[in-house]
Amino acid sequence: MLLTLLACTALIITRLRSLFATVMLTGIYSFLGAGWMLLLDAPDVAFTEASVGAGIATVLMLATLALTTHEEKRSAQRHWVALVTVLLTAAALVWATLDMPHYGDPQAPIHRHVAPRYIEESPHEIGVPNLVTAVLASYRGYDTLGETTVIFTAGIAVLLVLRGLTLRRRKEDAP
C-alpha cells in the first residue's frame, strides 16, 4: 500500500504545473518514503529522510519559490532523450535487484557473516554495552557522520537562503 502511494504521488508530481503544489507533494513523498524505510527497520534512514527530505528540503524549496514564479513554464519540445535515459536507468536498477536475497532470508550474507560478528565481537572490540550504539557509532561511524553532515549542511543552506531573502526584501523596501 505504501509503495502504491509513493508511485501515485510521484506520478501526480510529474503532471502538476503549480510549483507550490509540487513542493507540498514532494514533502508528502518524503514522508511516505520515511514511513517505508521505517517498515524496513531502518529508523536512522527514515529519520534522516523525514528531517532532510520532508522538513529542510521543503522549507528550502518554499524559500526558492519566493524568489521565482509559482507556475512551471510549458516547454515547446518533448525531451525523448531524457525519457529514454530514465527508462534505461530504471531497467538497470530493477535488473540489479534480481539477484538480491529475499527480505528477511536467514541465509542472506548479512545474517551469516556480518550480524553474528557484530553481536559476538562488539563488546570486546568496542566496549560499548549497547549493540545498536556500537554499530551506529563505531562500525557505521562514517555513515552516521555523513548523515549528520548532510543535515547540518542543509540547515546552514536554509538559513543562508532565508537570510538572503530577508536582505533582498530590505533592499526592495528601502526608499
Per-residue CA distances from 135 to 116, 127, 148, 152 (Å): 12, 12, 16, 22
In sign, the C-alpha dihedral spanning 93, 58, 25, 53 is: positive
Closest CA to 58 of 109, 13, 3, 97: 13
The span from the CA of 91 to the CA of 84, in Å, is 10
Helix (H, G, I), strand (E, B) or coil at 61: helix
| Cβ 128 vs Cβ 134: under 8 Å | yes
- Local mean pLDDT, 10-residue blocks, the chain (175 residues): 92 89 92 90 83 85 79 77 94 93 84 84 83 80 82 82 74 72
- pLDDT at position 160 is 83
Q: Rounded to an integer, what distance in angstroms lies between the CA atom of residue 120 and that of residue 54?
A: 37
pLDDT at 175 (0 to 100): 67
> What's the pLDDT at 85?
95
Instruction: State the pLDDT at residue 103.
Output: 81
At 61, the amino acid letter reads M
At 113 the three-state DSSP class reads helix
Q: Cα–Cα distance between 13 and 81 in angstroms, integer? A: 20
Alpha carbons 133 and 35: distance in angstroms, whole number: 22
Distance (Å, whole) CA 15 – CA 22: 9
pLDDT for position 162: 75
